[in-house]
Amino acid sequence: MTLSRFLYKSSKWQSRRKILTPTFHFNILQQFVEILIEEGERMTNSLKNAGDSITKDLTPFINEHTLNAICETAMGISLQGMGSFQQQYRKAVHRMGELFVYR
């Protein structure tokens, strides 16, 4: 039996799924569409402003704008224009990811 089947039949998984499912309901997600579109446009502009240089690694662009979208949709806080705090927060999130992978 695979782990996914085991988790699927688990009562613990079913109770957690019942908690999570409403979070991703269409009506809930609909309120965030405008934020996601705006952040997508900011990312597009950021890529355009990268200049004539060929951007080979899109990871920094994607990371920056994904974190912006997550912060604004999940916490209601925009990281735009927060100056040094924005960079500190980004570094802390990146470091947390490194530690998670290391563990």
How much is the average pLDDT of 50-64? 76
**Dist. CA 75–CA 32, nearest whole Å:** 12
User: At 4, is the pLDDT very low, low, confident or very high (cuts 50, 70, 90)?
Assistant: low
Instruction: Give tens-digit pLDDT for 5-36.
Output: 555 567 777 787 788 777 777 777 888 899 99
Query: How far, in Å, are 45, 53, 66 from residue 78 at the CA level?
Result: 17, 29, 12
What mean pLDDT value characterizes the chain? 81
What is the separation, in whole angstroms, between the first and last Cα of the chain?
Answer: 27
